[in-house]
């Protein structure tokens, strides 16, 4: 990767950047520059995600500011950016709708405000669970979920984001419903679009798709993120169409109305953001439906955050490791603070974190600087932010949703194995037809059924059978029996970590007596081998000579016996 070539690598721990007082001064230039560039990406996304969640636009900025400040001093994750994420849109808007609101659709009414305050109460309780989760050192539970089901869930979230944002990008008001219903209505949305608003949305979406190619024309363009280009184009378009004032215009014999309702609602004066601080309505917790959404926020938000933090660790040029339990505490504490003042839930966000690495960040202070720039921007120039058309923000989210459900995701999963594609598609469809938790539960159930069909003994579904034998002073032989699959991986992994990384011993892992080693375990073994290498140890995997892969992919599921 290009970022690996541009950043120095070293074997000396003294030269590894650390987010302490010395690191703040030493890497000030790199961190503040990256923080500024991430701010340019984060500003429009925070506004757009908040509106898509049924919250006021300012709520997304509150979250990014609080997340940046609090996580910097609690978490030890050096390169993750904390803030609102598209992956939680489905849960947030679901919570708002469960309490009788529809967010900014048709204006932010009293019913919408009531639902928003109740959703904040749900966020507070979910965040408290996240803090407890971290203190109980339960971050390892993220290892349980099978990769195909997680990717299927994320793809479904992408589809839902797209179908929810397409009507906003087209200027169609009042469009809502279940995801499958709205997919059927897409042709109707195009027939009912508001031409001027649709032009803003269409050009914004085109910029999002074309900018990766355009910026290759000159190196200077590389530092300008696509969302900022969208704003530089969309804001003048909104001014040209005079969206600040309600009026009617004609197009091909049809009359359409536009006005301020198609712009982002923001404070109308400097430091007016503090007037928009909103407190939770804890009476919501008396309603049984509230606890469903507490659980959804807690489970999905925690899972996404943990997976993002792990992914960024793999991209860290210095291979620093995040304490996932400590990071979860940071996310939970930050989420309590966010919900108490009107903010969205936050997670470790993957796209902005990846941009942070690409921009040359060294320590967690880059996250802090991105939050400070957001605070200054929203506090000092809110009237300029009010000029941003909603259609432009919706276009950015359509692009985000498309990336989550990109056609190459299907092809990638298919390369790993047909059974993985089945789990992926079943999870995707199940989420669209039900909800996130039921959908991913169905995906997990399908995977377990496939494992049983492939010969996994029932007694080993949740329990690994491992024999341990010392081979000299510094080597341990672990022989696995029956199966090594996602559902028994947590205890399986504990043995590898305790006997290897904790006791500083090399491990030979013999899988010859397993009937099945699934893709999730193959990939996780590949990751943990890198952890062993990083500390000068070896995890040697043997015994797969009599297994065959369910596809040609090197990390595909391995089944005992020769191909028929």
The predicted structure's pLDDT at residue 450: 97
Phi, psi of 309 (to 5 degrees): -65, -40
Rounded distance between C-alpha atoms, residue 427 and residue 448, angstroms: 13
The model's pLDDT over 407-455, given as tens digits with 9 standing for 90+, comes to 999 999 999 999 999 999 999 999 999 999 899 999 999 999 999 999 9
Residue 235's SS3 state is: helix
Rounded distance between C-alpha atoms, residue 139 and residue 528, angstroms: 16
Is it the case that residue 11 has pLDDT exceeding 50? no
The predicted structure's pLDDT at residue 223: 85
Rounded distance between C-alpha atoms, residue 561 and residue 282, angstroms: 58
**Sign of the C-alpha dihedral, residues 453, 458, 463, 464?**
negative
563: confidence class by pLDDT, cuts 50, 70, 90: low
The token pair that represents 118 in the structure block: 């109740």
Q: How far is CA 344 from the centre of its chain?
A: 14
Contacts of 480 (CB under 8 A, 6+ apart): 464, 465, 466, 492, 509, 510, 511, 513, 514
Smallest CA-to-CA distance from 434 within 88, 93, 156 is with: 156
The predicted structure's pLDDT at residue 216: 87
173 compared with 492, residue with greater pLDDT: 492
CATH superfamily of domain region 458-560? STAS domain (3.30.750.24)
* SS3 of 80-103: CEEECCHHHHHHHHHHHHHCCCCC
Total count of residues recorded for the chain? 564
Q: Are 477 and 508 in contact (CB under 8 A)?
A: yes
- Torsion from C-alpha of 238, 239, 241, 244, nearest 10 degrees: 90
Q: Which helix (H) or strand (E) holds 67?
A: helix 57-74
Is it the case that residue 13 has pLDDT exceeding 50? no
Q: Residue with structure tokens 């390369």?
A: 415
Smallest CA-to-CA distance from 405 within 380, 420, 424, 379 is with: 424
* SS3 of 494-557: HHHHHHHHHCCCEEEEEEEEEEEECHHHHHHHHHHHHHHHHCCCCEEEECCCCEEECCCCCCCC
- Does this model's pTM top 0.85? yes
* Residues of each domain in the chain carrying CATH 3.30.750.24: 458-560
Rounded distance between C-alpha atoms, residue 397 and residue 385, angstroms: 18
The predicted structure's pLDDT at residue 15: 79
The model's pLDDT over 87-100, given as tens digits with 9 standing for 90+, comes to 999 999 999 999 99
Q: Are 532 and 507 in contact (CB under 8 A)?
A: yes
Q: How many CB atoms are located within 10 Å of the residue 383 CB?
A: 13
Rounded distance between C-alpha atoms, residue 531 and residue 370, angstroms: 30
Q: Are 361 and 79 in contact (CB under 8 A)?
A: yes
Contacts of 207 (CB under 8 A, 6+ apart): 226, 229, 230, 233
DSSP H helices, 269-359, are: 288-315, 324-341, 350-358
432 compared with 13, residue with greater pLDDT: 432
Q: Which helix (H) or strand (E) holds 559?
A: strand 558-560
Q: What percent of the chain has pLDDT over 90?
A: 88
59: confidence class by pLDDT, cuts 50, 70, 90: very high
Smallest CA-to-CA distance from 263 within 175, 197, 167, 190 is with: 197
Q: Are 119 and 54 in contact (CB under 8 A)?
A: yes
**Which residues pair with residue 483 across a beta bridge?**
516
Is it the case that residue 5 has pLDDT exceeding 60? no
103: confidence class by pLDDT, cuts 50, 70, 90: confident
The predicted structure's pLDDT at residue 314: 87
12: confidence class by pLDDT, cuts 50, 70, 90: very low
Q: Residue with structure tokens 């215009």?
A: 249
The model's pLDDT over 153-191, given as tens digits with 9 standing for 90+, comes to 999 999 999 999 999 999 998 888 899 999 999 999 999
Q: Residue with structure tokens 């202070």?
A: 365
The token pair that represents 39 in the structure block: 């701010």
Residue 347's SS3 state is: strand
Is it the case that residue 104 has pLDDT exceeding 70? no
Q: What percent of the chain has pLDDT over 70?
A: 97
The predicted structure's pLDDT at residue 9: 40
The predicted structure's pLDDT at residue 10: 40
The model's pLDDT over 465-488, given as tens digits with 9 standing for 90+, comes to 999 999 988 999 999 999 999 999
Q: Angle at Cα 483 formed by Cα 478 and Cα 488, nearest 5°?
A: 85
Residue 487's SS3 state is: helix
293: confidence class by pLDDT, cuts 50, 70, 90: very high
The predicted structure's pLDDT at residue 1: 33
Q: Which helix (H) or strand (E) holds 490?
A: helix 489-496
Full DSSP string of 100-148: T--TTTTS--HHHHHHHHHHHHHHHHHHHHHHHHHHTT-GGGGGSS-HH
The CA–CA distances, whole Å, from 96 to 278, 291, 528, 540 equal 15, 13, 40, 50
Average pLDDT score over the chain: 93
- Torsion from C-alpha of 48, 52, 54, 55, nearest 10 degrees: -20
Least confident of 104-118, 268-282, 546-560: 104-118
Is it the case that residue 47 has pLDDT exceeding 60? yes
Rounded distance between C-alpha atoms, residue 549 and residue 417, angstroms: 9
The token pair that represents 376 in the structure block: 């200054």
Residue 345's SS3 state is: coil
The model's pLDDT over 194-234, given as tens digits with 9 standing for 90+, comes to 999 999 999 999 999 999 999 988 888 888 999 999 999 99
Contacts of 445 (CB under 8 A, 6+ apart): none
The model's pLDDT over 508-539, given as tens digits with 9 standing for 90+, comes to 999 999 999 999 999 999 999 999 998 999 99
The predicted structure's pLDDT at residue 177: 86
3: confidence class by pLDDT, cuts 50, 70, 90: very low
* SS3 of 379-427: HHCHHHHCCCEHHHHHHHHHHHHHHHCCHHHHHHHHHHCHHHHHHHHHH
Phi, psi of 240 (to 5 degrees): -60, -40
The predicted structure's pLDDT at residue 386: 95
């Amino acid at each position: 990767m290009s970022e690996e070539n541009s950043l120095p690598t070293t074997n000396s721990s003294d030269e590894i950047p650390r987010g302490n007082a010395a690191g703040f001064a030493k890497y000030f230039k790199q961190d503040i520059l990256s923080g500024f560039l991430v701010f340019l990406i984060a500003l429009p996304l925070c506004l757009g995600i908040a509106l898509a969640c049924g919250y006021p636009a300012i709520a997304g900025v509150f979250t990014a500011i609080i997340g940046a400040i609090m996580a910097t001093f609690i978490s030890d994750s050096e390169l993750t950016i904390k803030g609102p994420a598209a992956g939680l849109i489905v849960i947030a808007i679901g919570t708002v709708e469960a309490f009788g609101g529809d967010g900014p659709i048709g204006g932010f009414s009293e019913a919408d405000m009531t639902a928003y305050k109740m959703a904040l109460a749900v966020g507070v309780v979910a965040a408290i669970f996240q803090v407890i989760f971290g203190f109980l050192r339960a971050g390892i539970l993220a290892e349980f979920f099978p990769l195909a089901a997680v990717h299927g869930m994320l793809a479904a979230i992408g589809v839902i984001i797209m179908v929810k944002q397409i009507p906003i990008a087209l200027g169609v008001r009042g469009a809502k419903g279940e995801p499958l219903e709205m997919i059927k209505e897409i042709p109707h949305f195009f027939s009912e679009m508001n031409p001027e608003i649709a032009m803003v949305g269409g050009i914004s979406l085109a910029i999002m798709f074309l900018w990766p190619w355009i910026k290759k024309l000159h190196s200077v363009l590389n530092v300008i993120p696509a969302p900022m280009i969208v704003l530089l184009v969309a804001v003048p378009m909104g001014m040209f169409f005079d969206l600040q004032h309600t009026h009617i215009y004609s197009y091909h014999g049809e009359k359409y109305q536009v006005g301020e309702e198609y712009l982002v609602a923001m404070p109308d004066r400097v430091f007016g953001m503090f007037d928009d601080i909103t407190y939770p309505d804890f009476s919501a917790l008396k309603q049984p439906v509230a606890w469903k959404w507490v659980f959804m926020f807690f489970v999905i938000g925690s899972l996404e955050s943990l997976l993002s933090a792990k992914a960024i660790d793999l991209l860290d040029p210095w291979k620093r490791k995040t304490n996932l339990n400590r990071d979860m505490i940071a996310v939970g504490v930050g989420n309590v603070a966010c919900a108490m003042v009107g903010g969205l839930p936050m997670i470790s966000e993957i796209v902005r974190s990846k941009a942070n690495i690409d921009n040359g960040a060294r320590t967690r202070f880059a996250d802090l600087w991105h939050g400070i720039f957001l605070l200054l921007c929203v506090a000092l120039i809110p009237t300029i932010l009010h000029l941003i058309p909603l259609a432009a923000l919706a276009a950015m989210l359509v692009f985000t949703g498309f990336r989550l459900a990109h056609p190459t995701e299907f092809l990638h999963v298919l390369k790993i194995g047909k059974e993985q594609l089945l789990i992926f598609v079943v999870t995707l469809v199940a989420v669209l037809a039900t909800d996130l938790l039921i959908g991913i539960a169905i995906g997990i159930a399908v995977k377990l059924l496939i494992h049983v069909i492939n010969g996994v003994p029932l007694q080993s579904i949740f329990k690994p059978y491992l024999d341990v034998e010392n081979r000299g002073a510094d080597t341990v032989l672990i022989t696995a029996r029956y199966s090594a699959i996602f559902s028994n991986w947590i205890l399986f992994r504990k043995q590898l970590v305790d006997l290897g990384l904790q006791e500083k011993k090399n491990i030979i892992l013999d899988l010859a007596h397993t009937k099945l080693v699934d893709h999730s375990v193959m990939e996780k073994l590949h990751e943990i081998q890198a952890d062993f290498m990083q500390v000068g140890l070896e995890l040697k995997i043997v015994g797969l000579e009599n297994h065959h892969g369910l596809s040609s992919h090197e990390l595909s599921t391995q089944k005992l016996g020769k191909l028929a």
